[in-house]
Amino acid sequence: MSYTFLDFLKLLGSLGMFLYGMKIMSEGLQKIAGNKLRSILSAMTANRFMGIFTGVLITAMIQSSSATTVMVVSFVNAKILSLAQSISVIMGANIGTTVTAWIISLFGFKIDIAVMVLPLIGFAIPLMFSKRNRNQSLAEFIMGFAFIFMGLEFLKANVPDVQSNPNMLAFLRNYSDMGYASILLFVVIGSILTIVVQSSSATVAITLVMCSQGWISFEIACATILGENIGTTITANLAAFSANVSAKRAAFAHFMFNVFGVIWTLLLFYPFTRMIASIVSDIGPGDPHLLAKFLANLSPDTISAINSGGNLSPELGALRTEYIGLQTAISYSLSLFHSTFNIINVTLMIWFVNVYVKICTKLIKSKKPDEEFQLKHISAGILSTAELSILQAKRETLVYAERMKRMLDMCRDLYYEKNEKNFLKIFGRIEKYENISDRMEVEIGNYLRQVSEGRLSAASKEVIRDILRGITEIESVGDSMYNMARTINRRNENHEGFTPELDEHVETMFELINKALDRMLEVLNIETPQKSDMDISFNLENEINTLRNKLKMHNIEDVNSQKYDYTVGVIYMDLIAECEKLGDYVVNVVEAWCNIAQPIN
C-alpha cells in the first residue's frame, strides 16, 4: 500500500475537524453561559468538595479541561480564587474531561454518527442567522458537536490500513512487547502527543481509534491515556508562564497532581487494567483483549470488507457486528479506565490540598520587587477562553488606575519637596510611572484586541469598547500627572516660590482630585456599575470646575495687585488647569465603566 502525502493531509484534516469541533462547541457554550461560568467558579468553591464538583461541571459543559484549567489559572492570577480553591477545581476538571471519551464510546462506535451529522448541521443553520445572540451561540454548540463526530468518522476512515500492511507500524509494535518498559514508553508518547495536539480530548479520541483498529493493545492504550493526563497540564503551565506567582503555583499544582496520580497507577498498572477489563467483560459488551485475537484470525481482505460496510453477505455481516461489539468493548474499557483513574486519584489527593499548597509555595517563591511593574492579571498566554478573558482585562484596568493614583501622591510630595536631590528622585519616579502608563495602555489594548478576535457575544464586544475607552482616559490621567510634575519642576528651575495662599489653593485642588481618583477606583472595583454610580464623580467634577474658575479670577486680581509676579501666576494657573483636565479624564473613566453593557442571557 502506498500512503501518499495527500493521505497524510486527509488524516491531519480529520484531526483538525475534530479539534475545530471541540473549539466552537466550547466557545458556543461559553457565550451561552459565560457570565454564569464566572459566577459558578467564584461562588461554588467554598470548600474543596464543592470545588471538585465545580470543576467537573464546568469541564463537562465546555468539554475542555485545558480551557477550565487556564480559566482557573487566570482567576488565581486575578485573585478571585485562592490557590487551595484552584487545586480542587482543577481536580474536578480532570474528572470532567473524561466525559469526552464516554460520548465517543456511547455514540461513536455503536451507531453510524454520520447519519446524524448532516441533520444536526441542518438544524443549526437557521439558528446561525437568528437575530438573538443566544440562538447563534446554540448553533455554534450544535455545529461543534456535529464536527467532533464528523472528524471522528474521518479519523477512522483515513487512518492507514495497518492490518493489510503490518510492516507499516512494525517499528511501533517492536516497542509494544517489552513488558513494563513499553508501558513507560507509551506514557511518554501520550504526553508528547497531547503537548503537540494541545488537547487531551483529541488525544484520547486518537487513542480510542488506534486501539479499536487494532494498532495497539488495550494495556498500551491505557498507558497512552496516562501520558495524556500529564501532557494536558502543559497548557495551563504555558498560560501561567508570564502570569503572577499565584497563577504559576496553581498550574504547577495541576502538574504535580497528575504526575503523582500517574505514578501510583503505574505501580498498580496490571492489576488495575485487569480489574477494568473484568468489569467490562462481566457487565459490558465484552473483553477488550479479544479484539486483537479477532483481527489476527481474519485475512486483510475480510478486515477491509467489514470496515467498509455496505451490502455484506450474512457471514461478513455477522463478523462486522462482532467487530463493532469488540470495538465498543475497547472504547468502554478505555473510558472506564480514564474515569476510574481520575476519580480514584481525586479521592486520594483531595485530602492533601494543603500539602500541595505548601509544596508549590516553597518551590515557587514570590518575587515582589520584580512584579511591581508587570501586568498582574493578564498575559498573552491566557487567551483560551475569550469570553472570560474580559474579566482579567477589567481587573488589570483597576491595577492600572491604582498605579496612576500613586502618581498624585508623588506629585504632592514633589510640590512640597525642598531638597534638590530628593526632588530629582521623586521626579524620576514620576517619569518612570508615566512610561509604565504608556506601556500598560498598549499591553492591555493589544490583549483586548486579541480577545476581540475570538468568538464574542455582542454585549462582550461592547464591554471591550468601553474598557478600551477607559484605559485611554486612564493613560491621559497619567499624562496629566506628568504635566503637573513638569510644571512644578519649571517652578523650581525658575526659582519662583508660591505664596502660602497659593499653596493652600493648590492643596485644596489636590484634595478634590484625590477624592475624584478614590471614587474612580471604587467604581472600577464594582462588579456591575450602574449609571447612578456616576453621580458622585460628576459632583466632584463640578466642584473642581467651580474651584478652577474661582482661582482663575483670584489669580487675575492678585497679579494686578502685585501679590506675586506674573510668571508665578502663569505657572500657578498651568498647575490648576492641569488639575481640572485631570478631573475631566477621571469622569470619562467612570462614565466608560458605568456604560459597560451587561452580558445578554
Q: Which domains does the chain have, with CATH numbers?
A: 5-363 (no CATH), 386-594 (1.20.58.220)
471 pLDDT band (50/70/90 cuts)? very high
* More confident position, 244 or 148: 148
* More confident position, 440 or 43: 440
- Mean pLDDT across 191-201: 72
Instruction: Return the closest-CA partner of residue 199 out of 151, 259, 250, 140.
Output: 151
Least confident of 61-65, 72-76, 166-170, 307-311: 166-170
Is residue 526 a contact partner of residue 596, using CB atoms and an 8 Å limit? no
410 pLDDT band (50/70/90 cuts)? very high
Rounded to an integer, what distance in angstroms lies between the CA atom of residue 211 and that of residue 202?
14
Task: Express the helix, strand and coil content of the chain in percent, nearest 5 each.
Answer: 80, 0, 20
Is residue 91 a contact partner of residue 58, using CB atoms and an 8 Å limit? no
What is the identity of the amino acid at 71?
Answer: M
Read off φ and ψ for residue 313, nearest 5 degrees. Answer: -70, 160
Is residue 596 a contact partner of residue 529, using CB atoms and an 8 Å limit? yes
Q: How many CB atoms lie within 10 A of CB 449?
A: 11
Instruction: Return the closest-CA partner of residue 188 out of 223, 217, 233.
Output: 223
Which of 59-73, 172-186, 283-297, 492-506 reaches the highest mean pLDDT?
492-506
165 pLDDT band (50/70/90 cuts)? very low
pLDDT score of 584: 93
Residue with cell 482567576: 75
Cα distances (angstroms) measured from residue 571 to each of 239, 501, 553:
49, 15, 15
What is the identity of the amino acid at 33?
Answer: A
- Mean pLDDT across 518-523: 92
pTM: 0.55
Rounded to an integer, what distance in angstroms lies between the CA atom of residue 301 and that of residue 90?
47
Q: Is the dihedral of CA 46, 51, 55, 61 positive or negative?
A: negative
pLDDT score of 573: 93
pLDDT score of 302: 77
- For 556, what's the count of Cα atoms within 13 Å in the CB-facing half-sphere? 5
Rounded to an integer, what distance in angstroms lies between the CA atom of residue 125 and that of residue 122?
5
Rounded to an integer, what distance in angstroms lies between the CA atom of residue 153 and that of residue 114?
7
pLDDT score of 601: 35
* More confident position, 250 or 66: 250
Is residue 19 a contact partner of residue 197, using CB atoms and an 8 Å limit? yes
Given a cut of 90, is residue 517 above it in pLDDT?
A: yes
DSSP-derived letter for residue 232 is: T
- Mean pLDDT across 258-265: 90
* More confident position, 210 or 505: 505
Is residue 218 a contact partner of residue 280, using CB atoms and an 8 Å limit? no
C-alpha cell read off for 564: 506675586
325 pLDDT band (50/70/90 cuts)? confident
Q: How many CB atoms lie within 10 A of CB 156?
A: 19
Is residue 202 a contact partner of residue 15, using CB atoms and an 8 Å limit? yes
What percent of the chain has a predicted confidence (pLDDT) above 90? 18
Radius of gyration of the chain (CA): 31
Rounded to an integer, what distance in angstroms lies between the CA atom of residue 266 and that of residue 121?
42
Burial tier of 198 (Cβ tally within 10 Å: 0-12, 13-18, 19+): middle
Angle at 248 between CA 247 and CA 250, to 5 degrees: 65
Least confident of 33-42, 379-388, 508-517, 525-534: 379-388
Q: How many residues does the chain have?
A: 601
Which long-range contacts (C-beta less than 8 Å, at least 24 apart) are formed by 169-177? Answer: 169/215, 172/215, 172/216, 176/216, 176/217, 176/220
pLDDT score of 152: 64
3-state secondary structure of 330: helix
Rounded to an integer, what distance in angstroms lies between the CA atom of residue 503 and that of residue 571?
13
* More confident position, 327 or 105: 327
What percent of the chain has a predicted confidence (pLDDT) above 70? 77
Is residue 236 a contact partner of residue 65, using CB atoms and an 8 Å limit? no
Helix extents (H) in 351-418? 353-363, 368-371, 386-416
